Copies of this chain bind each other. A is one copy, B any other.
């Protein structure tokens, strides 16, 4: 018997405009170096009980699913309503192909409202037939379960938009948290983030930014929370992997698109 483990795949580690950026002549965007190629931020998770889910569905969702061979999903979670996290929503239709299949969707009220406004036809009850997207929406107000995994929403500050991270706990595999878009983590939320095996955290770039953690700010959070491993994500084109990755402290790494992490096992 294999030991119970989570398998995490970074589907994308980029900001809202990805890397390379259209029309940008900076050294990272023009490097052609695959370690600096970043689709819009998203995470795929397979749990020990074979349940699987995605956190956020940006416009690159189709390509991300194709290149990782993702053909089934048990749930989709959303951190917040920004375009780069939701606008691939319709491509989830391939995960509700049978006429009676529904896909559970978890989001806060504001995010769900924008999804419902933008993709009205998926929610108005008219398109229940084979091959069309049939979401079963849930407004996240507290912890919930996906199979044997307990999911705890983590309220964070990210500009004006109400935003969540998520903590995932499995009784045998361990725990991780995913916070791709965050500027500040309130104390009450930090209290929910102790004892993690893996922390995955926004770290946009070295330069400060009004709505995202910089590298230094993220390293402060990482030191405070003291997860066994911390992986940084959601990078702009100011983040040159080759230059920054070697300078990080022990236990902290820069995530790359398509990278896999195993927790437990």
Contact of A88 among B16, B59, B91, B117 (CB under 8 A): B59
Within 8 A of B (CB), among A6-56: 16-18, 20-24
**Chain B residues within an 8 Å CB radius of A94:** 17, 21-24
**Chain B residues within an 8 Å CB radius of A59:** 59-62, 87-88, 90-91
Interface residues on A, range: 20 to 34
Nearest CB in chain B to that of A16: its residue: B90
In the bound complex, what is the Cα–Cα distance between A59 and B59 (angstroms)?
5
A66–B17 contact, CB under 8 A?
no
Contact of A17 among B23, B72, B84, B93 (CB under 8 A): B93
**Chain B residues within an 8 Å CB radius of A72:** 23
Contact of A91 among B17, B20, B63, B65 (CB under 8 A): B17
Binding site of A, secondary structure by majority: helix, strand, loop or mixed? loop
In the bound complex, what is the Cα–Cα distance between A34 and B83 (angstroms)?
30
A144 located at the interface, meaning its Cβ lies under 8 Å from any Cβ of chain B in the complex: no
Contact of A90 among B24, B70, B87 (CB under 8 A): B87
A250 located at the interface, meaning its Cβ lies under 8 Å from any Cβ of chain B in the complex: no
A141 located at the interface, meaning its Cβ lies under 8 Å from any Cβ of chain B in the complex: no
Return A61 CB to nearest CB of chain B, in Å: 8
A188 located at the interface, meaning its Cβ lies under 8 Å from any Cβ of chain B in the complex: no
Return A155 CB to nearest CB of chain B, in Å: 22
* A75-110 interface bits toward B, Cβ cutoff 8 Å, 1 = contact, 0 = none: 000000001100110110111010000000000000
Nearest CB in chain B to that of A87: its residue: B87
Return A198 CB to nearest CB of chain B, in Å: 27
Apart from A17-B91, A20-B66, A60-B63: 8 A-B pairs, beta carbons within 8 A: A16-B90, A17-B62, A22-B62, A22-B65, A23-B71, A24-B94, A59-B90, A63-B63
Which residues of A approach B to under 8 Å, CB–CB? Answer: 16-18, 20-24, 59-63, 65-66, 70-72, 83-84, 87-88, 90-91, 93-95, 97, 117-119
For the complex of A and B, 8 pairs with smallest distance between CB atoms: A22-B94, A118-B118, A23-B71, A59-B59, A83-B90, A22-B65, A87-B87, A23-B94
